[in-house]
Amino acid sequence: MTAITILRTALSSLGANKLRAGLTLLGIVIGVAAVISLMAIGRGVQQTITERIQALGTNLLFVRPGETSTRGVGGGQGSAATLTIDDAYALQDSPFAPSISAVAPELSTSAQLVAGRKNTSTTVVGVTPEYQYVRNFPVESGQFIGPGHVESNAMVAVLGATVAEDLYGFRSPIGQNVRINGRRFEVIGVLKFKGGSRFFSFDDRVMVPITTAYYRLSSQRTAQGSISVQTINVQIEDVSMIDSALGEVATVLRLRHRITGDDDFTVTNQQETIEALQEATNSFVFFLGAIAGISLLVGGIGIMNIMLVSVTERTREIGIRKAMGAKRRDIMLQFVSEATLLSLGGGGIGVLLGWLLTVLLNGRSVIGNSPSQTVFNADIAILALAVSAGIGLFFGIYPAMRAARMHPIEALRYE
């Protein structure tokens, strides 16, 4: 039998039971559509996280306290006391660090904010004026923290977009007073909306001068009396200078800390953070695909079931074909082609339906209240089609082998 004859025979056999074939097809359609849409959502989440991190700057290094301290400050496990604001200023002005263009230390703490009858809990970040540019936090209205605010320990605050909306609604908070952990601060600015998820948002934070955060809001102190910081954000001249900048930062801090053994700080770059998050989100995407793949497996079992029923119903037909000279290979190809047509047809429709779902879900709130981004790639569609075809072959082989092994005389006697 030629390939065209096998295809025509398969289409004719499937057309004889349209409802049954359609219901079997539906299982594959749902499975493929689920795989494509869920993986598109997963990749959209992955891309959104990566874009938001990259929006903070790809030419950044993060200096944080290490696991051990050789300075005798705190001892044991690392604490923020191993880094100070003087370390940050030294990195900025050191002749040993020509690759560094700007430095922005930060000190974070949680706090309760009260404005009139409204209150909210959020993160308060002590910053310097450079933080606005190093971490890309533009101001929507008002002004950012200035050098004078840091020098005078001013009781001023810059609100994130979400905090401003929660406390003041649509009113302008500029010039208003807000209490942070019971202390009165004047609102001097509101940051531009940056977006985020329900679990983490760059808009749900308040920025104050780092000296004010240390002396008025933070309880942590260093033995030397210097202002301790939790992170030193280092901006380098160009992304290509990351390796040299890593060495320069390490050299300056080792000299300042008089380190002869293990470092009491760690230096990471933005790319490492992105790669770590991508590994985590890859697992998330794989998990979503595996869940959707279960429906494909169920669809494959449906194909096997319907093909076994078809073999039983067409026993006499198989006997007649064999009596007329059909070989085992011809009978097997006939049933395998029917199963493959069902799976490929369902896969094609499922790809189209999955694509439509990704288009409809793009920009809508799927997880939480934030609009979700979906990413449809051709490799997902090709993979789904290949898996659906493989399922058709896998689950169609046993019924086909059963039909091919039938003895022609017993098949002709079957009632």
Mean pLDDT on 9-33: 77
**Encoded tokens for 408:** 């022609």
The per-residue pLDDT for range 84-132, each reduced to its tens digit, is 888 998 898 778 888 888 999 999 999 999 998 999 999 999 999 999 9
Mean pLDDT on 17-37: 82
**Position of tokens 């660090």?**
97
Cross-strand bridge partners of residue 232: 63, 105
C-alpha span between 399 and 302 (Å, rounded): 12
The answer to whether 153 and 216 are in contact (CB under 8 A) is yes
C-alpha span between 345 and 350 (Å, rounded): 8
| Cα-only R_g, the chain | 33
pLDDT of amino acid 36: 85
pLDDT of amino acid 131: 93
pLDDT of amino acid 262: 84
C-alpha span between 87 and 103 (Å, rounded): 10
Cβ neighbors of 286 (< 8 A, separation 6 or more) are: none
Confidence of residue 415 (pLDDT cuts 50, 70, 90): low
The answer to whether 352 and 409 are in contact (CB under 8 A) is no
Q: Within its chain, how far is the Cα of 275 from the centroid?
A: 11
**Encoded tokens for 318:** 């198989």
Instruction: Tell whether pTM > 0.75.
Output: no
The answer to whether 35 and 292 are in contact (CB under 8 A) is yes
Mean pLDDT on 45-54: 72
Amino acid at 295: S
Q: What are the extents of the domains in the chain?
A: 3-54+275-413, 99-239
Confidence of residue 145 (pLDDT cuts 50, 70, 90): very high
pLDDT of amino acid 15: 67
Number of H helices, E strands in the chain: 13, 10
The per-residue pLDDT for range 238-270, each reduced to its tens digit, is 777 888 888 889 899 998 888 888 888 888 877
- The answer on pLDDT for 19 being more than 90 is no
C-alpha span between 398 and 407 (Å, rounded): 16
Closest CA to 244 of 269, 275, 274: 269
Coil vs helix vs strand at 206: strand
Closest CA to 176 of 112, 118, 217: 118
- The answer on pLDDT for 71 being more than 50 is no
User: Rounded to the nearest 5°, which phi and psi values hold at 242?
Assistant: -60, -50
Confidence of residue 207 (pLDDT cuts 50, 70, 90): very high
Pairing state of beta strands 177-180 and 265-269?
unpaired
Pairing state of beta strands 183-191 and 156-159?
parallel
Cβ neighbors of 346 (< 8 A, separation 6 or more) are: 24, 25, 26, 27, 28, 29, 31, 32, 299, 388
User: Rounded to the nearest 5°, which phi and psi values hold at 272?
Assistant: -65, -40
pLDDT of amino acid 377: 78
Cβ neighbors of 47 (< 8 A, separation 6 or more) are: 373, 375
**Position of tokens 């509101």?**
190
**Encoded tokens for 68:** 């051990």
Q: Which range has the worst mean pLDDT, 202-216, 241-255, 258-272, 307-321?
A: 307-321
As a whole-number percent, the residues of the chain with pLDDT over 90 amount to 22
Q: Which range has the worst mean pLDDT, 64-68, 335-339, 364-368?
A: 364-368
The answer to whether 59 and 100 are in contact (CB under 8 A) is no
CA distances from 278 to 47, 79, 129, 367 (A): 9, 28, 31, 19
pLDDT of amino acid 25: 82
